[in-house]
Structure 1
């Protein structure tokens, strides 16, 4: 037990889908919860969200707004718009500081902070990201089915991505953006499925308000496209988990067990910061699991 009363049972850093889902589960468990959200979700440029039951085709902002409205009835949950700048481990809990100059304490912390996509140095890429330059065919593939589509990738990743996207279209080109690192066998298999391979460097994404028209290569070849799939590099949106000693996977995700627990007792993580499976449905589920596990762990700790 703490030698002083904590402000909250749980502080959730990040108020998008995973954070709001966890807050709902914890609010229904009568937990005193603070959600701190900086208001910069990674999908803020995406016009529509798909593959989420009852909300297929909604805007990401609309889904978030509904979640926040429904969360208001749980009076033990407080949501603030702020940015967490620092944090530290206490004897029996955690302390965080925010950009607005506030300090809060809690028994445990959940990081639902997502990731930051690192845009490649290609003109027009950032403007199209999340609109017609896509990462997930399950989220967006149906809307561009049977249309001229590109893959930006190379090697094993490019090969597997091209195989996957070929389920949605027969008009597919793999742009390796430089000398191909596909194996001879991989290249042969892709070509046997009529997937074209283009090795020239990418120069420009030609678009209109984020709607891709074509991809222009350094050799001045141009390919008309309706969509381009890729998986850009990323960084963690928040560096506090690293500062507090959390372990990370080789791919750069916060390392958690099957129940959102990190290697640091009292610190949990859920959502895009822990997994490459980026979807609204997935992170909502992860947040619900995290909330339930956190509540159970708090109960168990009270019975020690």
Structure 2
């Protein structure tokens, strides 16, 4: 299949981290293609927080303004599509799109995020990002002092309970079955007046994603306004792995301090490389990836 065009850098993923990388590269006069399928993982989130100058804006507002600003750089182009394959070539890399197009570049940046694995609880997915939350630093202030639940068990449930106790004194740990906490952990939570509920969760009652009750399989209910959950995940895009990029033990793409992966010329940034899932952090990593990729090209071509 014919390659459509050669770019200096292809960025796969056009949300916050990808846009930040695109801006850094555009300002470095590099020819860039940003490929995006238009499905950000925080699409349901009403507001974004803890991002200086953007606090309280919707994710869509931030991304739209970011894209407008990146589009001002004439060397940056956008392509709406899903990247489905990639390969190493003599001159760099090729990326294939689901519609059949193939683009090539000297460097690649993956800003592809992760895909959360939702538990099989009715209503959970509808509430995710709205009233079932992953990060207190992003959303904890808005629900401070509310009756709050933690969905978790064992070490993860214990650690998350300790963290969230900073934002509320009305806290319940829902273990969704028999507790796997140690005796010491149980006593420590009780000492801090954190309740432990071992009933199995049946479903979440909500109104347009805003939690009202947690309903147990025995039919009983517990009123609740907000709940935190630390879900498992998988990489949203498998192309970095097919190119040989190593993952960490947690499942993130392994990068060095400058966002380069274990494959030379391939960079990654944003939620796919770290558990710190904030817009501000994604932007910072994208900027770093774009600057580093451009600097490497400048030095290589001199």
**Fold agreement, TM-score > 0.5:** yes
1:8-23 matches, cutoff 5 A: 8-23=7-22
Which residue is equivalent to 2:277? 278
1:58-69 matches, cutoff 5 A: 58-69=57-68
| Total equivalences in the alignment | 300
Give the secondary-structure state (helix, strand or coil) at the position aligned to 1:107. strand
Q: Does the aligned pair in 1 maintain the 2:4–2:101 contact within 8 Å?
A: no
Which residue is equivalent to 1:79? 78
Residue by residue over 1:209-261, the C-alpha shift from the partner in whole angstroms, topping out at 9 and shown as x without a partner, is 10000111123332111100001111111011111111001111101111111
Q: Does the aligned pair in 2 maintain the 1:6–1:107 contact within 8 Å?
A: no
Shift of 1:54: 1.0
Q: Does 1:52 align with 2:19?
A: no
Instruction: Provide the rounded CA distance (Å) in 1 between the counterparts of 2:79 and 2:61.
Output: 18
Residue by residue over 1:169-210, the C-alpha shift from the partner in whole angstroms, topping out at 9 and shown as x without a partner, is 000000111111111111111111100011111111010110
Instruction: Provide the rounded CA distance (Å) in 2 between the counterparts of 1:183 and 1:8.
Output: 55
Q: Gaps spanning 5+ residues in structure 1: where?
A: none
Residue by residue over 1:28-59, the C-alpha shift from the partner in whole angstroms, topping out at 9 and shown as x without a partner, is 11111000000000000111111111111111
Show structure 1 runs of 4+ deviating over 4 A: none
Aligned CA-pair RMSD = 1.3
Instruction: Provide the rounded CA distance (Å) in 2 between the counterparts of 1:36 and 1:5.
Output: 14
Shift of 1:263: 0.8
Shift of 1:5: 12
Q: Does 1:302 align with 2:289?
A: no
Shift of 1:294: 0.8
Q: Does the aligned pair in 1 maintain the 2:4–2:102 contact within 8 Å?
A: no
Which residue is equivalent to 2:128? 129
Shift of 1:155: 1.0
Q: TM-score when scaled to structure 1?
A: 0.96
Q: Does the aligned pair in 1 maintain the 2:4–2:103 contact within 8 Å?
A: no
Instruction: Provide the rounded CA distance (Å) in 2 between the counterparts of 1:154 and 1:293.
Output: 40
Instruction: Provide the rounded CA distance (Å) in 2 between the counterparts of 1:130 and 1:70.
Output: 27
Q: TM-score when scaled to structure 2?
A: 0.97
Q: Does the aligned pair in 1 maintain the 2:147–2:224 contact within 8 Å?
A: yes
Which residue is equivalent to 1:233? 232
